[in-house]
Amino acid sequence: MCIRGHAVAFAIAGLLLILTPLAAGIPWPACDTAGNYTANSTYGGNLLSLAAALPSNVSKSPTLFAKALIGTAPNIVYALGQCNGDQSASACHDCISSSFDAAQKMCTGNKGAAIFYDTCLLGFSDRDFLNSTTNSEDQEVQLYNAQNITSDGADRFNATAYELLSGMAEYMATLNSEDKFVTGTIPFDATYPNIYGQASCTSDLTPGQCRGCLDATIAEMPRVFIPNTKGARVAGLRCIVRYEVYRFYNGSIMLQLPGNQAGRVEGKKNNKTGKILAIVLPVVVAIVASMAMCLFCWRRTKSTSKRSLSLTSHMEDMECIESLLIDLPTLRMATNNFAENNKLGEGGFGAVYKGSLPNGQEIAVKRLSHNSRQGIGELKNELTLIAKLQHKNLVRLVGVCLEEEERLLVYEYMPNTSLDTFLFDSEKRKDLEWSKRFTIINGITRGLQYLHEDSQLKIVHRDLKASNVLLDADMNPKISDFGLARLFGQDQSQDTTKRVVGTYGYMAPEYALRGQYSIKSDIYSFGVLILEIVTGRRNSDSYNSDQSVDLPSLVWEHWTTKTIMDMIDP
């Protein structure tokens, strides 16, 4: 486990030298260095009295939780302790006692400390934190597994892990008992059959307060952790969330989410995929045909009527469908049978290949992966939306192919690929002088304005980022990848989803935290993108050890210290 935290000034190797082995495992401290005391002081004496009484108070409690305060101002010590719901009373007593010992060794002389074991937590301070219902940053540690998911399913792993965490938070909000502890699991794939999770709150929180604390803590994780890590936790004095690819807790599994079973049994995958395609593809083809006819015939007649064009009223215009559908042999020939040297890139839903049609038109072919959990849904969504959108700052759909087991979307070719290939390359970035960057920002703005206000449809993109902004030969930007986009009614201002999808680091807080999205969600993502364009830094660089905060927070720090010019790309 690697650690990210506040006021932690030691190495894990040092811990192992300082401490004797403890049954509870390795302690993780957050030390408050704002105030100090001496061993023979009144505050030190009060802390010793507390250390003698609190372990018994916690272990004898039905919920393995207790709060305490001792002394008079200015030497009052406030404290709380709690053990996991899967611990025995004796193990809990030993863990809380060990926490006091660890605090004396790791946070020597500090008036405030928070100690976290795998099985219990302890916090004390000279300030009153007992009425707080959320975690305080100086009483919190963040831990993550240094090993990452490196397979093609990394994005799906992230989504599945956060689905489990959100499910446990939702489950916790339904508990009326004082015992606020839940274990959970969700199936993933053959390599990692299950992802395991655990969440807990202190027993004095109401269900609503517990849910709020967990939601806020889960929302922190994309900001402080390396993407695709195999395990992570945020531990605070009010609530804790954790997930791993192995079972790390005792007792039974309290919450089992269904997850996605596709691909878990390799021998059945091809048959299952074939059956799904056999059922879904005819439906998709019918949708595509209907949509293509309505769209292209509308463009041909240029009617000003707002009424829908029906399929039956335009059966004579079969060439409308043919203008959108492209046969598979043509695309195989165009891409040299999807040759590796024609691959432009690869994302969560599949690879993109460069090609050339018989008429000489250069194209980019998006080949959806057969194993993509959202492939069919993304295909239908992208076809339904982007084929109806016509704007110079949106990528143009050329055609679609649904033959055999292939699901192919054909777009206009953008010779300068995506913005991220320039922006985050130390050499290519030099070609982006300020006038070009302004042109790019202006073009993205116009594209968003069209999506949000000027098109016949009102659309929230939900995944705006540098890799989804393509650049043509003149470096003009075009927004792409509408697989996660959502259509709004003209009078609709926001919506809520239980499944948060997109790219962490670009998500608006209300979307990542509560699943609420609107055009404001895209504006937040656009704000992060502008910061990347101006600074030349990738927001996800905050996951590296040399940058402890995300890009917006780093920019804010420089703004408040009047050193903002240091952040501008030289």
For the annotated binding site for ATP, the residues are: 366
Residue that has been written with the tokens 């055999």 in this structure:
404
Q: Quick one: tokens of 355?
A: 């090609």
Question: 134 with 24: CB under 8 angstroms?
Answer: no
- The tokens for 102 are 């660890």
CB 124 within 8 A of CB 79: yes
> Within 13 Å, how many C-alpha atoms sit on residue 330's CB side?
19
Q: Where do we find the tokens 């059966």? A: 315
Q: Which bin fits 90, alpha (ψ -120 to 50), beta or left (φ > 0)?
A: alpha
Q: Which residues are annotated as a binding site?
A: 366
Six token digits for residue 414: 């953008």
Hunting for tokens 């809380």 — which residue is that?
A: 96
User: Is 187 in a helix, a strand, or coil?
Assistant: strand
Strand partners, 77: 70
278 CB burial (10 A radius; 0-12, 13-18, 19+)? exposed
End-to-end CA distance of the chain: 36
- Beta-bridge partners for 232: 144, 243
Mark 514-532 as b/e (b = at least 16 C-beta within 10 Å). ebbbbbbbbebbbebbebb
How many whole angstroms separate alpha carbon 477 and alpha carbon 447? 9
Write out the catalytic residue numbers.
463
Q: Given the structure tokens 């209300």, which residue do they identify?
A: 510
Q: What is the pairing mode between strands 181-187 and 255-256?
A: parallel
Q: Radius of gyration of the chain from Cα atoms? A: 28
Whole-angstrom distance, CA of residue 526 vs CA of residue 479: 11
Are the C-beta atoms of residues 332 and 326 closer than 8 Å to each other?
no
Question: Could you please report the per-residue DSSP string of 416-481?
Answer: T-BHHHHHT-TTGGGG--HHHHHHHHHHHHHHHHIIIIISSSEEE-S---GGGEEE-TT--EEE--
DSSP letter assigned to residue 507 = S
Residue 440 CB coordination number (10 Å): 24
Q: What are 40's two structure tokens?
A: 């023979």
- Gap between the Cα atoms of 302 and 308, Å rounded: 13
CB count, 10 Å around CB of 356?
15
Sign of torsion, CA 532 537 538 541?
negative
